[in-house]
Amino acid sequence: MSEAEGTRSEERRRVDDALLAEMAAALRSAGPPSETMIAGARAAFAWRTVDEELAALSYDSRQDDLVAVRGADDEAPTLVYEASALAVELQLLDTVLLGQLVPAGPGEVVVLAAEGEVARADTDALGCFRLPVTGTAPLRLRCTTPQATLLTDWITR
- The model's pLDDT over 91-132, given as tens digits with 9 standing for 90+, comes to 999 889 999 999 999 999 999 988 889 999 999 999 999 999
Q: What is the pLDDT, as a whole number, of residue 105?
A: 94
Q: What is the pLDDT, as a whole number, of residue 4?
A: 65
Average pLDDT of the residues of the chain: 85
Q: What is the pLDDT, as a whole number, of residue 128?
A: 97
Q: What percent of the chain has pLDDT over 90?
A: 43
Chain center to CA of 115: 13
Summarize pLDDT for 127-151 with one digit per residue, the tens. 999 999 887 789 999 999 999 999 9
In a 10 Å sphere around its CB, with 0-12 CB exposed, 13-18 middle and 19+ buried, how is residue 110 labelled?
middle
* C-beta separation of 99 from 128 below 8 A: yes
Which of the two residues, 151 and 50, has the higher pLDDT score? 151
Q: What is the pLDDT, as a whole number, of residue 81?
A: 93
Which of the two residues, 66 and 99, has the higher pLDDT score? 99
What is the average per-residue pLDDT within 39-64?
Answer: 75
Summarize pLDDT for 17-28 with one digit per residue, the tens. 999 999 888 888
Would residue 31 be called left, alpha or beta, if left means φ above 0 and alpha means ψ between -120 and 50 degrees? left
Q: What percent of the chain has pLDDT over 70?
A: 85
pTM: 0.62
